[in-house]
Structures are given as structure tokens and as C-alpha cells.
């Protein structure tokens, strides 16, 4: 941590009052004017400032500042590369100061795949401005006319010469503050020498030798450890608490402020032991269990979080559906799942007089600053939040209740206090990826061209709600629910559930129409970038020539979210005992300009495997407001033995700005795997996780879950096209999968459509339609405004917490 | 977990070797080896991830064998030799596994890396040329939540080559 502290956080001070040189030492500071609150397109997302600044020191080190945090997504190196590129210095010379609220530009948070999108342009600009300023300075010092000078390898040289004056020498003894004009030109990606090329993390040796200091590794002389009272079940309300037994206990500090009850002691064990002696009485309220959860969510709409709604109504989806020769309707589901960052929540709080510093693993340090200041009743200017290296987040570490609790305990104990969550606390007192229920109804032509698209998400949110497909008649919307389990962001948000439902449904329609899954997608897509990844993935996986011995299946899915385009081909084997094994994932991804190729590849690989957990087996189990699998021995995440061959193909569009990269590669995995399992077995699985026990149910057996999870597939089926015939022929030799064979042999009752058509098969219940949706809202165009989305706040307050 | 046959001792201090150096700490029988390392010795390379031996982030070598230090009681550790990720350097430089992980960027957040590196080091010492299947089996108790398994697997393969080159010595 850089010291001493500024009098006020720099994002809350006018530029002329920032003590750049007192704190960073002599040198040159370049700053971009703070943005006035405005549209989010420049990454501002309003409040105070934004902007950017960096410092070039007499030692030649470039210190750049960003409010984003490094939680394993690799932006520290990627953003450093962007700075190194524009300032023409080796990567090792850049020291990126991240997520320190005293020193960094205000930032809304590290989520939404915004780091490269928001920050790389501003950091590049301020670095380019600093380069120009250094050249000017060299000219003033007599090196030559500015037009005759160039910046190379941390020096300013006369063009063509091999040596020049190092930056450090140019700024020695100086205190130069330059304001970079917003129109400063950037180096085109095509001319990059450092960014866009392979780079090794300069701190790699520290990581592999155990020297990287994570939040939970921090230490202070006299450090105390804290723990605080949490409700034993969701919905529990504290009615009476007595901490009397702990008063005066040697070595234990006890704090009871309002609803907050916590202790600090000499070790984490001693703190938890003391906390167990607190006499607390809770009022429990009835909570739905897993069996009732779907009905509960459908019956408890929420009016909050308007940012997380989206809709599109175009054309006449109902009339088009009624006329369509291929009709299909189903409900898809996705379970609550946990982020399980390997490092649990942790915070270290320490006071210096009336000024507080909390180091905490959070993705939203500036929001945590406001929350801590408000919770303690102290001025925001006195609170500093710093995010050290954090053992991952995946969207799971928004907010700062742990920071606030540590600060309260530290204030009372008059000593630094660390809170380290146990794994059980991490499961019980964090939040989950929301459960999703997605009702889909599709009408298509006989060639699988989509003509009517009705898509309704309950509870999970609006990310990737709108289809990338060109469908003339659409009714797409989502509703939010009062979730009995705490839920909040998770890597790629609702895009996981929405894309699973959409890409499964498109495959089902393709199957009904007898069209190859690739052709069905091609026929409905006009987005060239998405088509490009689709073709790259299919070429790499040899889709057209795929061979399917018994038990083998291939599945395809695409996805478009946060500007990134993904296509994934999954290859699975279903053993004779119906055990599923994912053999291979072929992923093509495009996210505009690639700044740090190896990191992007690493992110795509990791996201693809992480998504396999939610696709195959991850689910939170709960009953009566309690989590039943709150440990790693009972909540399964992907391990080495689950990992397939993962082949990643990156498309570099360096003519486009960087798009989001850390999340979107998640979203095509689950549908590709579900489609592959169908291809292998003829069994269509519509709920995530697909195979919680590892096995595909036999055809004809009831799918797991409530009765209402059965889809309603309405005839008539279309005649199989040529590709469908080929596909069927391939399947013909497979033997297994009677359900599929029966389906594909159904003759196309061309004339059957029309008035007398049955509204569903006997014995299947139709999903209730959603009259509220149909009645609501006039026809509106796209209202999508992804940039404006703030992080989801917990829809249900976690009562009893500080 | 390694079987220990040393007789139980009961003096005030527990004496053992950590990363080659003799260490004397006050006996606290309820403490796990992980707590001893992290809180008494301030060696924070081994991480807490789950407290039940499921994640492998706390893996260290106990008398040469990889163990989950969160599951090892300090009772009976008298005379033991413990090596943590901080003590893997060989003749002052990173060992083959560490170099391979660094070279291939086989980490994202890096929190699982110490445990991964220790497990892979133990594997290569026991089996200098493991197959992919053997690597997966040996490392199946080490979780990477960033799910960078593909790259970690590649790094262990690369370490296999680097270690072989180390054994051959300078050419």
C-alpha cells in the first residue's frame, strides 16, 4: 500500500488539491480530466469523477491508477500492457495501482466484463498524453525539436538513434502536472509492439513460490481476529440477544451496536468460540423448500431492480405462432448455484486516529467505502478501502459487510482486526446465482426459420434475454421475484440461463424441422461476427464430418453478450450405464481487439470449464431457510477428473475496441452439452444441472423435478430436410435412444395443422401462459441498455446483518 | 497422510523442521499444521480453502509426502520435516514445477497455485514421467476455482520436461 495517505481521497478532491508529488515523489503526472457524470459509454457510470492519472517517477517506473480490482481475471497485466504500449516502456516498468479508494479514480466496480472496455481506453489515453509530455520535456531540455524525437523503450531519442534520455532522467527533480487533452490520439492496434502479443506476468515468480500476498495473508503486529453473529436461517429475525457472559472476558472484545453483535479475540478459533457463547434468540419465518421454489418464485414478483429488466415486443408473435408449421413450447430451469471463490471473504481493518483503512476482497471498493462510512457514521473522506490480491470473485464478492464488521470490531478493540470467513460462512452468508425459470414458445417454418419467439424469464434477470436471431415476431421479457435465498451477480449473470434456454430451444426446433443444428442457426443469424465464431468452432470441431459411434453425441451453441461472441461445440460420451462424460469442448471466441492474448485464452478456458459445473452437477440444496450443502465435500465443483479437452480459437478483430471477455465464454457451454446429450441419447434435459447424479435418465422415465417441467411439444412435425435425413441416418446406427427414434419417424402430418389441432398431447400439462405479460405493455422496441446496468443489489435484505 | 511413528512428546515446545530450518513453537494441540504455519510461523503460502481437506490449497510436504495441512494435527509432529511452497527452491532457484507454472501462466487468481505446485512437485518426485491420466489422478484433490485446469495440466507436462533436463544437468 502506498503511503502516506492523502488528506482526502483523490477521486473526491479537485485535481489541483491532490498531493501527487508528496505521495508519489518527484516526477511527471499526467491526468485526464474527470468526466462529468454522463452516459456510461465512456465507463463513467456517473458519480464523482472517473478520469485517469499516472505518474512517471525519477526511477523510470510508471505508476498508473485504476479503480478496478484484480480478482483473478488478469486485468492487472492486460491493463499494464496497454499502458506499456502507449508509453513505450517494458511491461516490468509499469506498476498498476488498483482498487485503492484513496488514490484511484472512482469506479463503479469490477463486474460486467467492463475492465478492458472502460479502463483500457482511458489508461491508454493518459499514457499517450504522458508520452507526448515527455517528448516535449526532452525538447525543452535541448534534445531536439519535438517532431525529431520519439519515445522508445523508456527513453526519448532523436529519431533513428540508438540511445536517448531515459524518462527518469527527464523528470528528475521535477513536479510536472500535465492535463491530457481528450483528443490525444492512440496507437492503432495494428501498430502495437507490446500489447496484443504474448506476455508473461512479471509477478509470476512470486505466485509460484507462495509470495503473493492475498487478503487473508495480511498481518499486523497485535492483530486480533473477529467473528460476528449471523442469522441461523434465511428470514430469521433477531428478537433478543445477551452478550453479558462475555463482558469483561480477558482477551475478548465484544461489540453490540444495534443489530450488530461481534467479537474480537486472539485467534479465529477463539473468536468463534466466544461468539458461540452469545445468547441469541431468533424468530424464524417459514421458508419454501426446493420442491415449492418454482411456484414460490412465480407467485412472488418483485418490483425492484428495474435496471435488470428488458423486453422486446415486435410484430405479432401469437398470430405468427398460430400460423407456423413447426411449433414448440417448453420450460427450462437453472438451479441456484454458489460462486465458491477459493479464498473466502476476508477483511483487515485498522484505524489511525479517526481515519480507517480496510483491506478487503471486494469487487466494489468504492461502494464498500460508502457503505462502511454510512454504517459507522464517519465521513467518507476518512475511509480508505484497498483491494489486495483476492482469491477470485466470479461476481460473488460485491459489497462490503465483512469490511464494515471488521471496522466496528477494530474500533472497539483499538487494534487491527481481521475477519476470515470459514467455508461454511462463505456458503451461508454470501449469495447465489439466481434460480431461473424460462418459458419459451417458438414458431418456425419447415426449414427452421424462426417466425415467432416468446421468451419469458422468471427471477434470473435480463442479461442476454434478447435473441441474437432475426425473428420478426417477438414477445420477450423477464420478471424478477422475491427470492427466499439471497441472490446477486454471478459471472455472466442471467445470460447463463437465458442462453441455455434459447440455444436448447433452437436445437429442439431444428430437430423438429429436421434441420442440422448448424444450418438452423445460419438461417436465423445475420450478425457477421457471430457467424464467424460459429463457423470457426464448427470447422475446428469438424462439425460437418462428425462421426457418432454409439453413445457419442455432438452439441452446438452460440452466444452474444457484453459485446463478446462465442460458439461452443461439445462432444460427450454417454456410457452404457448412462454416465455422462464431456470429452471435448471446442470454443471460438471474439471480443474485438485482443490486448493480452494468453490471458484471454486462459479466461476462455477457465470460463468454459467453470461453466461445466453449473451445466452438469452444481446446485445449492436448501430447506427451511437453511443451505444443506455448505461445504466443499457436499457442494461439488469441477475437478481435474471432470475436465475435458478444451480447444480455444480466438478471433482477433483489432479494428474494433475490446469487448467483454471474462463472462461470455461461459454461456454456450450448458446448451452445447445438453444438445450433445440429446444427440447421444435422444433424451432432452431442460434443467440445470443436467445430470446431478452423473447419469442421463433412461428414455421414457420421468425427468427429475416437478411434473410441470415436462415440455409441451405440439405437432405437426415438418418433413425432414436433406441435412435432417443425413442426421437421422447417422443416428440410425446408434441403437440407443428410443425416444429420439420414435420422434424422428413421426410422419409429417402436413395437413394436420389448423383448427382441429389438439392443444397438447394427452397426459401432458401445458405450462400456464403468462397473461400478465401478454396484457402488459404496448409494443416497444428494444430497450436494451446494457451499459447502464448497475450491479444487482440483493433483492432480499439479509436481515440481522450489519 | 504420512504415518508417523515417532513417540508422542509432551514438553512445552514442539520442535520440528520447516523448509530445512529448525523451528520451536509453543505446543497447542488443538492447532492444525496449517494454523501453525500461517499463524505461528507467518508462512502464508499454504492457504485455507475449506478446512476439510477437500480443496488442496493447504497442501505441504510432510516428511516428503503431500498432505492437507488443515487436516494434520500438530500433536505428534515432533521431529517432523515440513516443506511448504516457500521452501521448494532447489539450489536457490525455482524448481521445475514452479518454473513451468510461471512460464505457462498456469494461474489466474493464483490462490490455488501453492497447493498445485506442491502436489505436482510430489508427483514428479514419485513418478518422474507421469501420463496425463496419472497427473489428473494425482492432482484431483487440488481445486482451481478459476478452473484453469487445462493450463495447469500443460504446466505439469512442461515441468516433467524441465525436471528431466535438470536431472541431465547442463548439456
Structure-block grid coordinates of residue A687: 434443467
Nearest beta carbon to residue B110 from set A212, A394, A612: A212
Question: Is residue B11 classed as helix, strand or coil in its secondary structure?
Answer: coil
Question: Is residue A661 classed as helix, strand or coil in its secondary structure?
Answer: coil
Nearest beta carbon to residue B146 from set A72, A217, A632: A72
Nearest beta carbon to residue B151 from set A214, A217, A602: A602
CATH number of A10-199: 3.30.365.10
Nearest beta carbon to residue B146 from set A606, A639, A646: A606
pLDDT greater than 50 at residue A89? yes
The pLDDT, as a whole number, for residue B9 is 67
Alpha-carbon span A57 to A789, nearest angstrom: 38
Which of A70, A110, A202, A209 to mutate to probe the B interface, most B CBs <10 Å? A209
CA dihedral A774, A780, A785, A791 (to 10 degrees): -30
State the DSSP H helix or E strand holding residue A432, giving kind and residue range, or none if neither: strand A432-433
ipTM, 2 decimals?
0.95
CA closest to B55 among chain A residues: A632
- Furthest-apart CA pair in chain B: how many Å? 52
Question: Which residues numbered 78-137 in B keep a CB inside 8 Å of some CB on A?
Answer: 84-86, 88-89, 94, 97-99, 101-103, 105, 107-114, 117, 135-137
pLDDT greater than 50 at residue A708? no
**Gap from B111 CA to chain A (nearest CA, Å):** 5
Are B23 and B29 contacting, i.e. CB atoms less than 8 angstroms apart? no
pLDDT greater than 60 at residue A410? yes
Q: Where are the domains of chain A?
A: 10-199, 215-284+345-420, 324-337+432-788
Question: Which residues numbered 134-153 in B keep a CB inside 8 Å of some CB on A?
Answer: 135-137, 139-151, 153
Would the CB atoms of B109 and A610 count as touching at under 8 Å? no
CA closest to B109 among chain A residues: A72
Alpha-carbon span A17 to B156, nearest angstrom: 52
Would the CB atoms of A640 and B136 count as touching at under 8 Å? yes
Residue B51 in contact with partner chain A when CB distance is under 8 A: yes
Alpha-carbon span B171 to B158, nearest angstrom: 18
Question: Which residues numbered 1-40 in B keep a CB inside 8 Å of some CB on A?
Answer: 30, 35, 38-39
Q: What is the DSSP string of A443-501?
A: EE-TT--EEEEEEEEESS-STT-S-SS--SEEEEEEEEE--SS-B---TTTTHHHHHHH
Which of A74, A197, A204 to mutate to probe the B interface, most B CBs <10 Å? A204
Structure-block grid coordinates of residue A132: 507526448
Q: Give me the domains of chain B, ranges plus CATH numbers.
A: 13-87 (3.10.20.30), 96-168 (1.10.150.120)
Contacts of A598 in chain B (CB under 8 A): 105
Would the CB atoms of A342 and B55 count as touching at under 8 Å? yes
Nearest beta carbon to residue A210 from set B45, B149, B151: B45
Question: Which residues 6+ apart lie within 8 Å of A371 measured at CB?
Answer: A399, A400, A401, A403, A404
Q: Which residues pair with A29 in a beta bridge?
A: A55, A177
Contacts of B144 in chain A (CB under 8 A): 342, 606
Would the CB atoms of B147 and A610 count as touching at under 8 Å? yes
Q: What's the mean pLDDT in A700-706? A: 53
Contacts of B52 in chain A (CB under 8 A): 423, 631-633
**Gap from A218 CA to chain B (nearest CA, Å):** 9
Question: Is residue A775 classed as helix, strand or coil in its secondary structure?
Answer: helix
Residue B73 in contact with partner chain A when CB distance is under 8 A: no
Would the CB atoms of A267 and B39 count as touching at under 8 Å? yes
Contacts of A208 in chain B (CB under 8 A): 85, 94, 97-99, 101-102, 107, 113, 117
Q: What is the pLDDT of residues A149-191, one digit of tens each?
A: 999 999 999 999 999 999 999 999 999 999 999 899 999 999 9
CA closest to B133 among chain A residues: A641
Contacts of A610 in chain B (CB under 8 A): 145-147
Contacts of A389 in chain B (CB under 8 A): 109-110
Q: Single out the residue of A617, A490, A492, A506 nearest to residue A558, CA to CA.
A: A506
CA closest to B41 among chain A residues: A219
Q: What is the pLDDT of residues A663-688, one digit of tens each?
A: 999 999 999 999 999 999 999 999 99
Are A580 and A681 contacting, i.e. CB atoms less than 8 angstroms apart? no
**Gap from B5 CA to chain A (nearest CA, Å):** 29
- Furthest-apart CA pair in chain A: how many Å? 92
pLDDT greater than 80 at residue A759? no
Nearest beta carbon to residue A342 from set B43, B98, B145: B145
Are A449 and A510 contacting, i.e. CB atoms less than 8 angstroms apart? no
pLDDT greater than 80 at residue A767? no
Confidence of residue A337 (pLDDT cuts 50, 70, 90): very high
> Phi, psi at residue B100, to the nearest 5°?
-65, -40
Fold that domain A324-337+432-788 belongs to in CATH: Aldehyde Oxidoreductase; domain 4 (3.30.365)
Q: Single out the residue of A560, A351, A604 nearest to residue A470, CA to CA.
A: A560
- Total beta-carbon pairs less than 8 A apart between chain A and chain B: 172
Do A10-199 and A215-284+345-420 show the same overall fold? yes
Contacts of B61 in chain A (CB under 8 A): none
Question: Is residue A187 classed as helix, strand or coil in its secondary structure?
Answer: coil
Q: What is the pLDDT of residues A583-618, one digit of tens each?
A: 999 999 999 999 999 999 999 999 999 999 999 999
Q: What is the pLDDT of residues A549-579, one digit of tens each?
A: 999 999 999 999 999 999 999 999 999 999 9
**Gap from B70 CA to chain A (nearest CA, Å):** 12
pLDDT greater than 70 at residue A246? yes
CA closest to A340 among chain B residues: B145
Q: Is the preceding peptide bond at A4 cis, omega within 30 degrees of 0?
A: yes
Would the CB atoms of A208 and B109 count as touching at under 8 Å? no
**Gap from B156 CA to chain A (nearest CA, Å):** 13
Q: Which range is most confident: A327-336, B4-13, B21-30?
A: A327-336
Confidence of residue B5 (pLDDT cuts 50, 70, 90): low
pLDDT greater than 70 at residue A772? no
Would the CB atoms of B108 and A391 count as touching at under 8 Å? no
Q: Specify whether the backbone of A632 is left (phi greater than 0), alpha (psi in -120 to 50) or beta.
A: alpha
CA closest to A662 among chain B residues: B146
Contacts of A219 in chain B (CB under 8 A): 42, 44
Confidence of residue A749 (pLDDT cuts 50, 70, 90): very low
Nearest beta carbon to residue B145 from set A200, A341, A643: A341
Sign of the four-CA dihedral A63, A66, A72, A77: negative
Structure-block grid coordinates of residue A685: 434435459
Which option is the CATH number for A215-284+345-420: 3.40.50.2300, 1.10.3720.10, 3.20.20.140, 3.30.365.10?
Answer: 3.30.365.10
CA dihedral A695, A700, A705, A709 (to 10 degrees): 130
Are A71 and A392 contacting, i.e. CB atoms less than 8 angstroms apart? yes
Would the CB atoms of A633 and B52 count as touching at under 8 Å? yes
Would the CB atoms of B105 and A200 count as touching at under 8 Å? yes
**Gap from A210 CA to chain B (nearest CA, Å):** 4
Strand spans (E) along A72-172: 94-98, 149-152, 155-158, 165-166
Q: What's the mean pLDDT in A283-297? A: 96
Structure-block grid coordinates of residue A254: 465484544
**Gap from A567 CA to chain B (nearest CA, Å):** 19
What is the percent of chain A with per-residue pLDDT over 70, rounded to a whole number? 85
Would the CB atoms of A602 and B98 count as touching at under 8 Å? no
Confidence of residue A783 (pLDDT cuts 50, 70, 90): very low
Alpha-carbon span A376 to A55, nearest angstrom: 33
Would the CB atoms of B136 and A638 count as touching at under 8 Å? no
Residue B42 in contact with partner chain A when CB distance is under 8 A: yes
State the DSSP H helix or E strand holding residue A429, giving kind and residue range, or none if neither: helix A423-429
**A68-89 b/e (C-beta count within 10 Å ≥ 16 → b):** bbbbbbbbbbbbbbbbbbbbbb
Task: Give the relative orientation of helices B149-168 and A597-616 as an angle to the nearest 10 degrees.
Answer: 120
Would the CB atoms of B51 and A643 count as touching at under 8 Å? no
Alpha-carbon span B154 to A259, nearest angstrom: 50
What is the percent of chain A with per-residue pLDDT over 90, rounded to a whole number? 79
Across chain A, mean pLDDT equals 87
**Gap from B84 CA to chain A (nearest CA, Å):** 9
pLDDT greater than 70 at residue A14? yes
The pLDDT, as a whole number, for residue A33 is 77
The pLDDT, as a whole number, for residue B76 is 87
**For residues A626 and A702, which has the higher predicted lDDT (pLDDT)?**
A626
Amino acid at each position: 500500500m502506498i503511503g502516506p495517505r492523502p488528506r482526502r481521497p483523490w477521486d473526491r478532491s479537485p485535481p489541483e488539491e491532490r498531493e501527487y508529488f508528496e505521495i508519489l515523489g518527484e516526477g511527471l503526472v499526467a491526468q485526464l480530466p474527470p468526466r462529468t457524470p454522463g452516459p456510461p459509454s465512456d465507463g463513467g457510470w456517473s458519480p464523482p469523477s472517473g478520469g485517469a492519472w499516472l505518474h512517471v517517477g525519477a526511477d523510470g517506473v510508471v505508476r498508473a491508477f485504476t479503480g478496478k480490482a484484480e480478482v483473478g481475471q488478469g486485468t492487472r497485466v492486460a491493463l499494464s500492457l496497454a499502458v506499456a504500449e502507449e508509453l513505450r516502456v517494458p511491461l516490468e516498468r509499469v506498476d498498476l495501482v488498483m482498487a485503492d479508494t484513496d488514490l484511484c479514480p472512482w469506479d463503479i466496480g469490477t463486474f460486467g466484463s467492463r475492465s478492458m472496455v472502460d479502463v483500457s481506453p482511458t489508461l491508454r489515453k493518459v499514457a499517450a498524453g504522458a508520452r507526448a509530455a515527455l517528448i516535449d520535456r526532452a525538447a525543452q531540455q535541448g534534445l531536439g525539436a519535438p517532431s525529431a524525437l520519439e519515445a522508445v523503450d523508456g527513453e526519448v531519442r532523436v529519431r533513428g538513434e540508438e540511445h536517448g534520455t531515459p524518462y527518469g532522467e527527464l523528470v528528475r527533480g521535477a513536479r510536472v502536472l500535465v492535463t491530457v487533452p481528450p483528443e490525444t490520439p492512440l496507437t492503432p492496434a495494428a501498430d502495437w509492439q507490446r500489447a496484443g502479443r504474448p506476455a508473461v506476468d512479471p509477478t509470476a515468480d512470486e505466485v509460484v513460490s507462495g509470495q503473493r500476498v492475498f487478503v487473508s495473508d495480511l498481518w499486523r503486529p497485535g492483530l486480533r481476529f473477529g467473528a460476528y453473529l449471523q442469522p441461523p436461517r434465511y428470514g430469521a429475525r433477531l428478537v433478543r440477544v445477551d452478550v453479558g457472559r462475555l463482558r469483561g472476558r480477558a482477551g475478548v472484545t465484544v461489540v453490540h451496536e444495534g443489530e450488530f453483535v461481534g467479537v474480537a479475540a486472539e485467534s479465529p478459533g477463539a473468536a468463534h468460540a466466544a461468539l458461540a457463547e452469545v445468547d441469541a434468540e431468533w424468530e424464524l419465518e417459514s421458508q419454501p423448500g426446493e420442491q415449492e421454489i418454482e411456484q414460490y418464485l412465480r407467485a412472488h414478483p418483485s418490483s425492484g431492480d428495474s435496471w435488470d429488466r428488458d423486453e422486446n415486443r415486435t410484430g405479432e408473435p401469437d398470430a405468427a405462432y398460430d400460423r407456423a408449421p413447426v411449433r414448440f413450447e417448453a420450460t427450462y430451469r437453472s438451479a441456484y448455484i454458489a460462486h465458491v471463490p477459493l479464498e473466502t471473504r476476508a477483511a483487515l481493518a485498522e484505524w489511525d486516529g479517526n481515519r480507517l483503512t480496510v483491506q478487503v476482497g471486494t469487487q466494489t471498493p468504492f461502494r464498500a467505502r460508502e457503505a462502511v462510512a454510512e454504517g459507522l457514521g464517519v465521513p467518507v473522506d476518512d475511509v480508505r478501502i484497498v483491494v489486495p490480491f483476492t482469491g477470485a470473485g466470479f461476481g460473488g464478492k460485491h459489497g462490503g459487510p465483512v469490511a464494515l464488521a471488521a471496522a466496528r470490531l477494530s474500533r472497539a478493540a483499538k487494534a487491527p482486526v481481521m475477519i476470515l470467513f470459514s467455508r461454511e460462512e462463505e456458503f451461508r452468508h454470501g449469495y447465489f446465482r439466481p434460480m431461473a425459470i424460462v418459458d419459451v414458445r417458438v414458431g418456425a417454418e419447415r426449414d427452421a426459420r424462426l417466425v415467432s419467439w416468446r421468451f419469458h424469464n422468471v427471477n434470473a434477470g435480463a442479461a442476454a434475454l434478447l435473441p441474437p436471431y432475426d425473428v420478426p415476431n417477438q414477445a420477450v421479457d423477464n420478471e424478477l421475484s422475491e427470492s427466499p435465498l439471497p441472490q446477486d451477480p454471478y459471472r455472466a449473470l442471467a445470460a447463463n440461463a437465458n442462453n441455455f434456454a434459447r440455444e436448447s430451444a433452437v436445437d429442439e426446433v431444428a430437430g423438429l424441422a429436421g434441420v442440422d443444428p448448424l444450418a438452423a442457426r445460419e438461417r436465423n443469424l445475420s450478425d457477421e461476427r457471430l457467424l464467424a465464431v460459429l463457423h470457426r468452432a464448427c470447422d475446428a470441431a469438424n462439425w460437418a464430418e462428425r462421426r457418432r459411434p454409439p453413445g457419442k453425441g455432438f452439441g452446438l451453441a452460440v452466444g452474444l453478450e457484453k459485446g463478446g461472441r462465442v460458439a461452443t461445440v461439445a462432444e460427450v460420451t454417454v456410457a452404457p450405464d448412462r454416465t455422462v462424460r464431456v470429452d471435448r469442448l471446442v470454443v471460438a471466441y471474439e471480443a474485438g481487439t485482443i490486448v493480452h492474448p494468453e490471458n484471454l485464452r486462459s479466461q476462455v478456458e477457465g470460463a468454459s470449464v467453470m461453466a461445466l459445473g453449473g451445466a452438469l452437477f452444481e446446485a445449492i440444496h436448501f430447506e427451511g431457510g437453511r443451505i444443506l450443502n455448505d461445504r466443499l465435500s457436499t457442494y461439488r465443483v469441477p475437478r481435474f477428473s471432470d475436465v475435458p479437452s478444451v480447444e480455444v480459437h480466438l478471433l482477433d478483430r483489432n479494428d474494433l475496441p475490446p469487448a467483454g471477455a471474462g463472462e461470455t465464454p461461459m454461456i454456450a457451454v450448458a446448451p452445447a452439452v445438453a444438445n450433445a446429450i440429446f444427440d447421444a441419447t435422444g433424451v432432452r434435459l431442460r434443467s440445470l444441472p443436467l445430470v446431478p447424479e452423473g447419469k442421463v435418465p433412461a428414455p421414457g422415465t420421468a425427468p427429475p423435478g416437478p411434473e410441470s417441467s415436462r415440455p409441451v411439444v405440439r405437432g405437426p412435425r415438418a418433413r425432414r430436410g436433406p441435412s435432417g435425413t443425413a442426421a437421422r441416418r447417422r443416428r440410425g446406427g446408434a441403437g440407443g435412444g428410443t425416444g429420439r427414434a420414435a420422434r424422428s419417424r413421426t410422419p409429417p402430418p402436413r395437413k394436420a395443422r389448423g383448427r382441429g389441432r389438439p392443444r397438447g398431447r394427452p397426459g401432458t400439462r401445458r405450462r400456464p401462459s403468462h397473461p400478465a405479460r401478454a396484457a402488459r405493455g404496448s409494443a416497444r422496441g428494444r430497450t436494451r441498455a446494457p451499459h447502464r446496468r448497475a450491479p444487482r443489489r440483493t433483492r432480499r435484505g439479509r436481515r440481522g446483518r450489519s | 497422510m504420512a504415518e508417523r511413528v515417532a513417540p508422542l512428546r509432551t514438553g512445552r515446545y514442539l520442535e520440528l523442521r520447516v523448509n530445512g530450518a529448525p523451528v520451536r513453537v509453543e505446543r497447542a494441540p488443538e492447532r492444525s499444521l496449517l494454523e501453525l504455519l500461517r499463524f505461528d510461523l507467518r508462512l502464508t503460502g499454504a492457504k485455507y480453502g475449506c478446512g476439510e481437506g477437500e480443496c488442496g490449497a493447504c497442501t505441504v510436504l510432510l516428511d516428503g509426502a503431500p498432505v492437507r495441512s488443515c487436516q494434520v494435527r500438530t500433536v505428534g509432529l515432533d521431529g517432523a520435516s515440513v516443506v511448504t511452497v516457500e521452501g521448494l527452491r532447489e539450489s536457490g532457484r525455482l524448481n521445475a514445477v514452479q518454473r513451468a507454472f510461471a512460464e505457462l501462466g498456469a494461474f489466474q487468481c493464483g490462490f490455488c497455485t501453492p497447493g498445485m505446485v506442491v502436489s505436482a512437485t510430489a508427483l514428479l518426485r514419485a513418478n518422474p514421467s507421469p501420463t496425463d491420466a496419472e497427473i489428473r489422478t494425482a492432482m484431483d484433490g487440488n481445486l482451481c476455482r478459476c478452473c484453469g485446469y487445462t493450463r495447469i495440466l500443460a504446466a505439469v507436462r512442461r515441468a516433467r520436461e524441465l525436471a528431466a533436463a535438470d536431472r541431465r544437468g547442463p548439456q
